[in-house]
Amino acid sequence: MIVGVIGSGSIGPDLAYGFVSAIAREGGRVYLHDIKQEALDAGMARIGTYVTKALARGKLSESAARAVKEALVPTLSLADLAACDYVLEAATEDLPIKRKIIAALEATVRPDCLIGFATSGIPRAEIAKGAKHPERCFVNHPFYPAWRALPVEVVLSGDDTFGERMIRTLEKLGKVPIITADVACFAADDIFCNYVSEAARIVAEGVATPAQVDAIVNDAIGGGGPLNVMDLTRGNLLTVHCQELMRDAPTGSAWFEPPAILREVGNRPWHDPKNRGDGRYDAALGKTVLDRILAVLFARTYFVADENICAPSDLDWLTRMSLGFRKGLLSLAEEFGIERVHAVCTTYAAAHPGFHVPKSITEKNLPRFRKNVVVTRDGDLALVSVRRPEVRNALNRETLSEIEASMKELAADDTVKGVIFTSQDGALAGADIGELASLKTPADCEAICHFGHAVLGTIASMKKPVVAALNGPVLGGGAEISMACHGRVVGPELVLGQPEVNLGIIPGYGGTQRLPRLIGFERALDLLRTGRSVGAKEAHAWGWATIAPVKDFLGEAKTLVQKHLAGEIKLAPVDAAPIAVPEKLPATDLGHHSRAIDAILVSVVRRGNALPLAEGLALEAKGFGQCKETVDLDIGMKNFIQNGPRVPAAFLHE
């Protein structure tokens, strides 16, 4: 893939670094273009700093850093972008200049080259007006810090083919595309800029100081505080620009008028870094400030949802990831409760003419949505996708519950003939370790296994074919839920494993029982006891993956389902019958792993696989509970949380 980024100012170098980090090792190339040499030099210097820091922190290897440097090309010539598959214009918020850049770019690149506009609020229709090929032009709104922030708001062009390519391209570049309607400021900046403006009004009115506003907001909902974010992004004047766009939009009013203090502060910081001021506040001030902030946040969030600017599930994830709150704003509204949401919004509206309280709040009927699972349709197939990319799609209890509910709904939907189970990027890194570490007793451990078994049982017992489409790390609970599906299609980057023994536990969602039935007892026992992982080719050769690894693992999973529906192949869950268990086990080098946990594991695997699957799963749950009685479970969990997966735990074997 060849990518171009136009503009080496505030955001362009960060985008270029993020893109090149995603594609350099696959032979990709990224051009960073600007019309000024000094801007290019500054941008490349900034990227060099990022690489140096990543090397020092172990985030990049020497070879990866070398690949990044070789794949990134600074250029003053727009002609160098001629071979690009995708170009993102990130040079300006000035509409006439954007249009000039697009015209020059269209005269340079191929007709099928995707073009994105990195804008905080200008509608796509305005930017693309006059474009020769508007069907390949999209809003791509990134977030701070652009090199590692996952979400990108996307306004589609209306052309399905180009739209699908745009989504896949951003995903390949390491981003999570969030579709929004083509309105002023889209979804996130509507909410964010109004939030910042309200904070500025509070300061301008003398109600609270910048330090107090930030402390009150951060203490209640996280995010660092609105004015602190402004200092990080130097975004006061950009907020003014967005407020004016919303004021002048068809849904605008005088309430959106940007407070004068934003222009007065301009590019200066709200906080003196040498003397940030006293952020202490009493309960009365805290309530006054927080109620005003919440009113704006909730009203604008539900406006976006009610007007179908962004789907509620997308919106909740977007507001958490892009705005930094401890929860998405729809989830926060549920936490605060509809009565408080209604009260703060209607009270604020009474004192602020032109402030709109959305219908869902006035009628106290907040939309229901899934937080971690996205269900979409492709003809007569449904896609159930886990979306927790910030934790490699780890499966916590809430996510598993949403998966189960989705599967039950699809089972009852006669228009759905088959289901693809996947994740936002194809990875399923395992169970949520923090959730497992919080279990208090052996009974709690056993109970969570029974819960997981029920969810996976729902998948396995589906009368419609369910195929997992996977790539990247598929570990622990991620591997287990995949084995409950009726088939598995994997990409070349699959890393498959059951690494639970590294944490001082055994698999608890069926891994001790389905893995041996799927790939054979001895191979499975080796993987389970050592915690080692295998790649895509081995996964297929051993029978874990249904077909050979393919780059388009999602497309091939759909094809596999269609072949089943046409009667060409037969997909089915793992055979629940007992399997042959050898009397003598092969020798295994356990390395540093706990002998105490290994004894529980071997017992569960040997006894369980000699029984029908349901009885084996019951034994697995009991064995998982037994792990809680060992010292090594506590050691393994604490080591993982404190040191991560690369540092071996110092087990005591008791």
Contacts of 82 (CB under 8 A, 6+ apart): 108, 109, 110
Residue 128 lies in a domain: yes
In a domain, 354, yes or no: yes
Give the integer Cα–Cα distance in Å for 182 and 123: 5
Residues 53 and 162 in one domain: yes
Q: Residue holding tokens 């997992």?
A: 468
Q: 480 and 615: one domain?
A: yes
Report DSSP letters for 376-387, one per residue. EEETTEEEEEE-
CATH number at residue 172: 3.40.50.720
Residues 614 and 509 in one domain: yes
Say yes or no: 217 and 349 in one domain: yes
CA torsion sign for 39, 43, 44, 45 is: positive
CA atoms within 13 A on the CB side of 204: 14
Within 13 Å, how many C-alpha atoms sit on residue 386's CB side? 33
Is the same domain home to 379 and 327?
no
Q: Is 10 helix (H, G, I), strand (E, B) or coil?
A: coil
Domain count, the chain: 3
**Quick one: 380 and 349 in the same domain?**
no
SS3 for 184?
Answer: coil
Q: What is the pLDDT of residue 89?
A: 98
- Are 516 and 551 contained in the same domain? yes
Closest CA to 91 of 122, 68, 114, 70: 122
Query: Where a domain ends, among 340, 363, 386?
Result: 363
CA distance 583 to 606: 9
Span 438-479, pLDDT tens digits: 999 999 999 999 999 999 999 999 999 999 999 999 999 999
Domain for residue 368, yes or no? no
For 244-250, which contacts have Cβ atoms below 8 Å and span 24 or more sequence positions? 245/121, 245/122, 245/184, 245/185, 246/121, 246/184, 246/185, 246/190, 246/193, 246/194, 248/184, 249/183, 249/184
Q: Write out the two tokens for 235.
A: 């975004």
Please state, in angstroms and rounded to a whole number, the distance separating the CA atoms of residues 146 and 17: 9
Domain stop point among 363, 390, 417: 363
Exposure pattern of 75-103 as b/e (b: 16+ CB <10 Å)?
eeebeebeebbbbbbbbbbeeeebbebbe
Q: Are 494 and 631 contained in the same domain?
A: yes
Q: At a CB cut-off of 8 Å and minimum separation 6, what does 173 contact?
A: 1, 3, 18, 19, 22, 23
- Exposure of 473 by Cβ count < 10 A (0-12 exposed, 13-18 middle, 19+ buried)? buried
Block residue for tokens 């002023």: 184
Is residue 380 included in any domain, yes or no? yes
Q: Is the Cβ–Cβ distance between 504 and 636 less than 8 Å? A: yes
Task: Label residue 274 left, alpha or beta by phi (over 0 means left) and psi (-120 to 50 means alpha).
Answer: alpha
Dist CA 122 CA 99 (whole Å)? 12
The residue with tokens 């570049």 is 173
CA neighbor of 628 nearest in space, from 443, 432, 409, 404: 443
Q: Evaluate whether residue 256 is within a structural domain.
A: yes
Of 137, 152, 180, which closes a domain? 180
What confidence score (pLDDT) does residue 490 get? 98
pTM for the complete prediction?
Answer: 0.91
Distance set, CA 582 to CA 516, 518, 586, 598 (Å)? 12, 16, 9, 17
Residues 161 and 42 in one domain: yes
CATH number of the domain enclosing 203: 1.10.1040.50
Q: Partners of 419 in the beta sheet?
A: 382, 466
Following CA atoms 575, 580, 585, 589 in sequence, which dihedral angle do they give, to the nearest 10 degrees? -10
pLDDT at 59: 87
**Same domain, yes or no: 349 and 406:** no
Distance, CA of 538 to CA of 532 (rounded, Å):
13
Burial of 294 (0-12, 13-18, 19+ CB in 10 A): buried
Establish if 350 belongs to a structural domain.
yes
Please indicate, yes or no, if residue 653 is contained in any of the structural domains.
no
User: Which tokens hold the place of 508?
Assistant: 């608890």
Following DSSP, what letter does each residue of 436-461 receive, concatenated? HHT--SHHHHHHHHHHHHHHHHHHHT
Q: 497 in a domain, yes or no?
A: yes
Q: Calculate the alpha carbon distances from 311 to 177, 240, 362, 375 in Å.
A: 12, 26, 20, 12
CB contact burial 504-530 (16+ within 10 A = b; e otherwise): bbbbbbbbbbbbbbbbebebbbbbbbb
**Whether 333 and 420 share a structural domain:** no
Range of the domain at 396: 373-643
Q: State whether 382 and 352 are in the same domain.
A: no
Please identify which residue in the block is written with the tokens 């497309």. Answer: 555
Q: How far apart are CA 450 and CA 242, in angstroms?
A: 51
CATH number, domain at 436? 3.90.226.10
Residues (pLDDT < 70) of the chain are none
Q: Is the dihedral of CA 171, 172, 175, 181 positive or negative?
A: negative
Pairwise CA distance, residues 56 & 108, whole Å: 39
pLDDT at 274 (0 to 100): 87
